[in-house]
Amino acid sequence: MPAQTLIATDLVKIFGDRRVLDGVSLTVSAGRRVGLVGENGAGKSTLLRLLAGADTPDSGTVTRPDDLGLLHQELPYSPGDTVGDVLAEALRESRELLGLLDELARDLSDADRLDAYGHALARAEQLDAWDAERRAELVLHGLGLADVARERTLGTLSGGQRSRVALAALLVRRPAALLLDEPTNHLDDQAVAFVEQQLRQLPGAVVVASHDRVFLDEVCTDIVDLDPSDDSPGGLVRYGGAYTEYVQAKRARRARWERAYADQQTELAALRLSAATTARQVAPGRAPRDADKMGYKFHGARVQAQVSRRVRNAEQRLAVLERDAISRPPALLSFQAPALTTAGEDTALTLRDVHVPGRLRLDRLDLPADGRLLVTGPNGAGKSTLLSVLAGRLRPAEGSVTRRRGLRVGLLAQDDRFDDPAATPRALYDRCHAEVPLVELGLVAPRDLDRPVGALSVGQRRRVALALLIADPPHLLLLDEPTNHLSPALADELEDALGRAPGAIVVASHDRWLRRHWQGARLDLVC
């Protein structure tokens, strides 16, 4: 039987002058489902490719099962392949094993044939080969592909359909190790729940990189943080449990770090004070009496010796602490908006009988000045259209939108576009003359402050757009899919900040975690 454990040892991967992975080691045994989290650029997709053998590390080794499946953006099929071709390949080993078992079972008198039958039977049981055909139909239905003809070529499918076909092939094949890069993209809630159930039933090793916090919570037995902020060996920290347990453990880890740093700083200050102590500070300005000059000399010498010893001990301890100093915990990359001001009125805006042909129809909406509204609904229901109408960027064909006099509205759209892609985040933010410095918002990493926004990743541009939006705090904040392209940790920070911020906030989102934890009003749009 092939090895079932996935083992990476001291992996290093360098792109240009940047070490994306530096000495990463990871072991994933059969039955464990490991979620990879971290900021964009932390190396999640790179690690998956190295584990799969799709890329080569600059140093380090990977031991992997022969039967391994990888789901990533570059699908291993040609546009001319049909859906049927992909499924046939996924079913090939199961079909071959069943045929082999039938052939061998005709005559088991030979020891070699009996041994071959035992190996084939064990592999068939591992793949659940007898159920493969039924499983294929179940997976197609679960991923919303049941109505896609088997004769359709992949080149005629949408990008989302092609990704679902590739995921379906892996779930049907049931490899010994399964590596998934953002598998919930292009899936609705029902399909995601189906995938979660399928992954929990897999007997092999699973490693998944995902921004979907509910998915990580429902599927994973372990979470690996590739961006732990502290000086962890190998640049990662592994936490037992699903996403909820990870959040709790990471907060406790951060609290311990902060306490250890504060305690060391207190001790350093005390030692520096002790080292500065002198004999004059012990007995300042006291002259010896005439009758006690000999005693003064004797006792004074003892005092000086004690002071010298105390100073020497303090200096030695100080040297050790300074050599092994605990680094200051960095500011968390978080959404720390300045106050969203209000003008003391109860209502921010009202909407009546709004109709945008083919895109939105809504009879009534009253939003308080400090209101919280979550807008949900399937794609095409009009969520983004509603935010554009509320922001005044789109005028409805019918109906009215009444905004409070002087109301300032800020909109974070899904597509973050910048008029000057050569400008840096620092320069763009400085143009807003904001009271809070950009570095204090915690949204843009220091290394990205002076890079052109056009050279930043989608997630990095998303952070810049958020920073610019709150540079001049609006009375009404409109956020369209705000957690898209954000790390799970930053999404948590954003949601916490929105809950504390004054002013009115309207959020349109598919994010299941956000929807599950939302505390305000809800508006569910239908197509």
What is the per-residue pLDDT across 30-51, written as a single tens digit (0 to 9) for each? 999 999 998 877 889 999 999 9
How many other C-beta atoms lie within 10 A of the C-beta of residue 223?
A: 25
Residue 482 has pLDDT above 80, yes or no: yes
Dihedrals φ, ψ of 518, to 5°?
A: -65, 135
| pLDDT tens string 65-92 | 988 999 976 677 888 899 999 999 999 9
Instruction: Give 336's pLDDT tier (boundaries 50, 70, 90).
Output: very low
Strands (E), 129-181: 177-181
Top pLDDT among 378 and 285 is at: 378
How many other C-beta atoms lie within 10 A of the C-beta of residue 518?
A: 19
Summarize the confidence of residues 9-15 as an average pLDDT: 92
For the segment(s) 76-174, the CATH number from 3.40.50.300, 3.40.50.970, 3.40.309.10, 1.10.3860.10 is 3.40.50.300
Instruction: Give 297's pLDDT tier (boundaries 50, 70, 90).
Output: low
Task: Give the CATH architecture of domain 1-67+175-241.
Answer: 3-Layer(aba) Sandwich (3.40)
Facing residues of 22 across strands? 12
Top pLDDT among 58 and 159 is at: 58
Summarize the confidence of residues 121-125 as an average pLDDT: 90
The per-residue pLDDT for 1 is 41
Strand 398-403 relative to strand 347-356, pairing: antiparallel
Could you tell me if 318 and 268 are in contact, meaning their C-beta atoms sit under 8 angstroms apart?
Answer: yes
Residue 294 has pLDDT above 60, yes or no: no
Top pLDDT among 404 and 375 is at: 375
Dihedrals φ, ψ of 225, to 5°?
A: -95, 115
Q: Average the pLDDT over each of 126-130, 333-337, 389-393, 434-438 and give the range with the smallest value.
A: 333-337
Residue 407 has pLDDT above 60, yes or no: yes
- The winner for highest mean pLDDT among 74-83, 212-221, 232-241, 362-371 is 212-221
Summarize the confidence of residues 345-365 as an average pLDDT: 91
| pLDDT tens string 135-182 | 999 999 999 999 999 999 999 988 888 989 999 999 999 999 999 999
Q: How does the average pLDDT of the chain come out, rounded?
A: 85
Residue 25 has pLDDT above 50, yes or no: yes
The per-residue pLDDT for 42 is 82
Task: Quote helix, strand, coil % in the chain, to nearest 5.
Answer: 45, 20, 35
How many other C-beta atoms lie within 10 A of the C-beta of residue 405?
A: 7
Instruction: Give 300's pLDDT tier (boundaries 50, 70, 90).
Output: low
Summarize the confidence of residues 187-212 as an average pLDDT: 93
The per-residue pLDDT for 219 is 97
Residue 281 has pLDDT above 90, yes or no: no
Is the pTM for the entire model greater than 0.85?
Answer: no
Instruction: Give 369's pLDDT tier (boundaries 50, 70, 90).
Output: confident
The fraction of the chain above a pLDDT of 70, given in percent, is 88
Question: How far is it, in rounded angstroms, from Cα 344 to Cα 322?
Answer: 53
What CATH superfamily is the domain 347-524?
P-loop containing nucleotide triphosphate hydrolases (3.40.50.300)
The per-residue pLDDT for 462 is 85
Summarize the confidence of residues 97-109 as an average pLDDT: 89
Residue 419 has pLDDT above 90, yes or no: no
Residue 292 has pLDDT above 50, yes or no: yes
The per-residue pLDDT for 391 is 92
